[in-house]
Amino acid sequence: MANAIEATRLDVGYGGRQVAVKVLSGLDLTVETGSFLSILGPSGCGKSTLLRVVADLLDPLGGTINVLGDTPHAVRSRRDVGFVFQDSTLLPWRT
C-alpha cells in the first residue's frame, strides 16, 4: 500500500518562481498510511502551506509530492482527500 503522503525535496513559496518567498525548502516527509501525524510550529512556519500543497490548493515550486501514491491533483479529482479550512473561504473554481 502506498504511503499517505510522500514529499521529496519539496519547495513551496508565494510570489511566483522568480520572486518567490520560500516558506518550505527541501522538505522530505513520509507519512505512512494508517499513521497519525501532528504538525506543530509557530505562526507562519508553513503548516497550513504544507496542507494546501497536499490538498492541491497550492502548487509547489520544486520537488515532488504524492498523496496516496498519486499526485495531489489526481487525488483531489477523485475526492479521496478532504480539507477543512480554519477560516471561512470561497474556492475560486467554485464561485
**Per-residue pLDDT at 44:** 87
| Alpha helices (H) along 1-94 | 47-54, 72-77
pTM of the model: 0.82
What backbone phi and psi angles, to 5 degrees, belong to 3? -65, 150
Angle formed at CA 57 by CA 54 and CA 59, multiple of 5 degrees = 80
Number of structural domains in the chain? 1
CATH of the domain at 15: 3.40.50.300
CA 29 to CA 78: how far, in whole Å? 23
Domain hosting 64: range is 5-94
Rounded alpha-carbon distances, angstroms, from residue 51 to 22, 33, 60: 15, 16, 11
Model pLDDT for residues 17-64, shown as the tens digit of each residue? 676 688 999 999 999 999 999 999 999 899 989 999 999 989 999 999
